[in-house]
């Protein structure tokens, strides 16, 4: 590149603005559309250079696309590198999503002593800024993503990472809030009366941080960001949980149901039914009082990073037990502790809940093929790392461990619920026919879920998680899915009408 006065026209590269990481097997045109955003990248590069006092940006590389954002590595003429992040149209509610992310990272760094990126410049008002988009200019986090080293780390090093994560979560537990919602700077939202946070038992009400509407993904995904519903903040757990029910009722009324990837639907399987969903939500609102946990340790409002997968956690490559940074604080929200993801996703656990904290027994390897042996050892390792994590949590963060215990509690009968007094009758009157229909729906849903599990196992790495697959696997994935569809139709469709209905419910393009 010419080092004179001429500057690169970054806007001429259309790949910067589109989703280029792979293909979608579900509603591809729509999924690509909501992940494409046009803006003035030349102007953004100038803003980035100015924000750290560099003369100009000399190189831009786009990171592999996330599902909700574009991230660029910008190199300056003085050798420094920074990150520019631009949200896609599907990232969340305009203004609030970016404003909350910036305030949350600042709060995490300064109040929670957590290594979040430092922000140099940001904009949450796309229409009024020359860049023409919301953006955040921030530090490039030091270290390497855990994904690069976790697989080759020794067990002792993995345990050091768990210990470091437990320490971080202890800091997150040291601060609770007056309301449920998301965090903002004063001036970016109208805070509720009495908005404050409580650190180590002391209320802090006169800070620059306030609580506003929730930017959590469940308030934005599948079209929910446009719903005219109460998005918070909420002063009580009851208000928060009632708002969730009202949101879902409004979603049923106003939004097209998203395609189901968690279970296959059809004539001999579960069929989504809006009437049944409305009824269930009405029942939910009536029994909320009785279902709310009485343990305030797990119901208090806490700020939590719910997406600790191995690309969002950075470690020191020379000392991988040291966490150097945590990225992607978008959609972080203040929720009851039992509503957060307590186990970091990098633990990679998707099996059944361990019944005890005893170490898993060593697998019997004799007679297994090398591939089977490798898989058995990997499963054994993953299971014991999870158990080590839970033991650490029980010892270091017992309140956190109580959320695990709460999730493992068995279903109670109405009379046994802690909130129910003896004179409060069960509010619903189900007939035998109702019980039969509910059981049938439940059995059909389980069957549809099991079919998906079989398909996932059959496809292995070709399974399109979240409907997405890499470019090089696209055609193999399509072929494999067509085979699965053929098997399902052959096995379950008994008439042309049933075949047509399975075709209609089939989620993949």
pLDDT in tens, 448-480: 999 999 999 999 999 998 899 999 999 999 999
**Which two structure tokens, joined as six digits, stand for 123?**
């904009």
Cα end-to-end span (Å), the chain: 43
Task: Print burial letters for 13-25: b (CB count within 10 Å at least 16), e (below 16).
Answer: eeebbbbbebbbb
Residue 134 is encoded by which pair of tokens? 């919301």
Residue 469 is predicted with a pLDDT of 97
Name every residue whose Cβ is closer than 8 Å to that of residue 430 and which is 6 or more positions away in sequence: 438
SS (H, E, C) 338-373: HHCCCCCHHHCCCCCCCCCCCCCCCCCCCCCCHHHH
Mean pLDDT over 77-87 rounds to 97
Q: Which of 204, 215, 216, 212 is nearest to 184 (CA)?
A: 212
Give the span between the Cα atoms of 40 and 9, in whole angstroms. Answer: 10
Per the rule left: phi > 0, alpha: psi between -120 and 50, beta: everything else, 435 is alpha
**Segment 26-45 mean pLDDT:** 97
Look at the block and give the residue holding tokens 């409002």.
Answer: 301
CATH for 10-142, among 3.40.50.970, 3.40.50.720, 3.30.200.20, 3.30.930.10? Answer: 3.30.200.20
What pLDDT shows up at residue 321?
A: 87
Residue 313 has pLDDT above 80, yes or no: yes
pTM, to two decimals: 0.94
Give percent of the chain with pLDDT exceeding 90.
83
Q: Which helix (H) or strand (E) holds 203?
A: strand 202-204
- Would you state the pLDDT for residue 4? 37
SS (H, E, C) 383-412: HHHHHHHHHHHHHHCHHHHHHHHHHCCCCC
**Residue 424 vs residue 89, higher pLDDT:** 89
Residue 1 banded pLDDT, cuts 50, 70, 90:
very low
The Cα 99–Cα 5 span in angstroms is 35
CA distance 508 to 356: 39
**pLDDT at 2 exceeding the cut of 60:** no
pLDDT per residue as tens digits for the range 409-443? 877 788 888 777 777 888 889 999 999 999 999 99
The CA-based angle 199-202-208, given to 5 degrees, is 65
From residue 288, give the alpha-carbon distance in Å to each of 46, 265, 429: 52, 29, 17
Does residue 228 surpass a pLDDT of 90?
Answer: yes
- Quote the CA–CA distance of 423 and 429 in Å, as a whole number: 17
3-state secondary structure of 129: coil
pLDDT of residue 171: 97
Among the residue ranges 113-127, 239-253, 385-399, 410-424, the one predicted with the least confidence is 410-424
Confidence of residue 3 (pLDDT cuts 50, 70, 90): very low
Structure tokens at 372: 């089977």
Tokens of 51: 């924000």
pLDDT averaged over the chain? 94
Q: What is the pLDDT of residues 138-187, one digit of tens each?
A: 999 999 999 999 999 998 999 999 999 999 999 999 999 999 999 999 99
**Number of C-beta neighbours around residue 380 at 10 A:** 16
Q: What is the mean pLDDT of residues 329-353?
A: 93
Across 37-56, average pLDDT: 97
Rounded distance between C-alpha atoms, residue 398 and residue 36, angstroms: 44
DSSP state letter for 59: E
- Residues contacting residue 147 through CB under 8 Å, at least 6 positions apart: 309, 310, 311, 346
pLDDT in tens, 182-211: 999 999 999 999 999 999 899 998 899 999
The DSSP secondary structure of 96-128, one letter per residue, reads HHHHHHHHHHHHHHHTS---PPPEEEEE--GGG
Note the pLDDT of residue 355.
Answer: 84
Encode 464-503: b = buried (16+ Cβ within 10 Å), e = exposed. Answer: beebbbeeebbeebbebbeebbeebeeebbeeeeebebbe
DSSP string, 219-230: GTGGGGGG--S-
Instruction: Give the pLDDT confidence score for residue 6 in this predicted structure.
Output: 52
Residue 5 has pLDDT above 60, yes or no: no
* Domains in the chain: boundaries: 10-142, 151-299, 433-505
d(CA 121, CA 290) in angstroms, rounded, equals 47
Structure tokens at 369: 């093929």
């Amino acid at each position: 590149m010419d080092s004179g006065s001429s500057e690169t026209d970054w806007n001429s590269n259309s790949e910067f603005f589109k989703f280029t990481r792979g293909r979608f097997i579900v509603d591809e045109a729509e999924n690509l559309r909501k992940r494409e955003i046009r803006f003035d990248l030349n102007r953004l590069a100038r803003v980035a250079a100015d924000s750290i006092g560099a003369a100009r940006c000399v190189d831009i590389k786009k990171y592999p696309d996330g599902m909700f954002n574009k991230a660029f590595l910008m190199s300056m003429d003085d050798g420094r590198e920074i990150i520019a992040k631009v949200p896609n149209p599907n990232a969340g509610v305009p203004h609030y999503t970016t404003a909350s992310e910036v305030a949350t990272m600042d709060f995490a760094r300064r109040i929670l002593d957590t290594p979040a990126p430092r922000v140099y410049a940001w904009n949450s008002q796309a229409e009024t800024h020359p860049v023409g988009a919301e953006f955040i200019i921030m530090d490039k986090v030091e270290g390497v993503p855990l994904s690069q080293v976790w697989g080759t780390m020794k067990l002792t090093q993995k345990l050091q990472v768990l210990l470091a994560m437990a320490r971080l979560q202890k800091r997150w537990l040291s601060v609770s809030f007056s309301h449920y919602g998301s965090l903002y700077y004063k001036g970016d939202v109208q805070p509720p009366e009495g908005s404050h946070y409580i650190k180590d038992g002391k209320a802090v009400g006169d800070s620059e941080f306030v609580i506003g509407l929730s930017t959590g993904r469940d308030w934005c995904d599948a079209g929910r960001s446009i719903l005219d519903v109460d998005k918070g903040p909420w002063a009580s757990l009851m208000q928060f949980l009632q708002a969730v029910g009202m949101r879902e009722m409004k979603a049923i009324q106003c939004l097209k149901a998203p395609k189901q990837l968690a279970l296959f639907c059809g004539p001999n399987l579960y069929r989504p039914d809006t009437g049944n969903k409305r009824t269930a939500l009405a029942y939910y609102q009536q029994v909320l009082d009785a279902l709310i946990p009485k343990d305030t340790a797990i119901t208090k409002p806490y700020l939590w990073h719910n997406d600790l997968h191995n690309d969002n956690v950075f470690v020191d490559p020379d000392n991988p037990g040291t966490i150097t940074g945590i990225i992607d604080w978008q959609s972080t929200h203040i929720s009851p502790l039992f509503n957060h993801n307590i186990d970091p996703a990098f633990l990679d656990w998707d099996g059944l809940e361990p019944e005890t904290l005893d170490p898993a027994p060593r697998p019997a390897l004799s007679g297994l093929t090398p591939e089977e042996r490798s898989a058995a050892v990997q499963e054994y390792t993953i299971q014991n790392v999870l158990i080590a994590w839970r033991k650490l949590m029980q010892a270091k963060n017992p309140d956190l461990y109580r959320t695990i215990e709460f999730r493992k509690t068995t279903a109670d009968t109405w009379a046994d619920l802690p909130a129910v007094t003896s004179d409060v009758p069960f509010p619903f009157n189900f007939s035998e026919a109702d019980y039969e229909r509910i059981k049938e729906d439940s059995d059909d849903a389980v069957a549809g879920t099991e079919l998906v599990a079989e398909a996932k196992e059959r496809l292995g790495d070709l399974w399109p998680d979240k409907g997405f697959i890499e470019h090089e696997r696209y055609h193999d994935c399509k072929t494999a899915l067509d085979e699965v569809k053929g098997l399902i139709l052959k096995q379950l469709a008994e008439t042309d009408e049933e075949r047509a209905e399975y075709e209609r419910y089939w989620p993949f393009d």
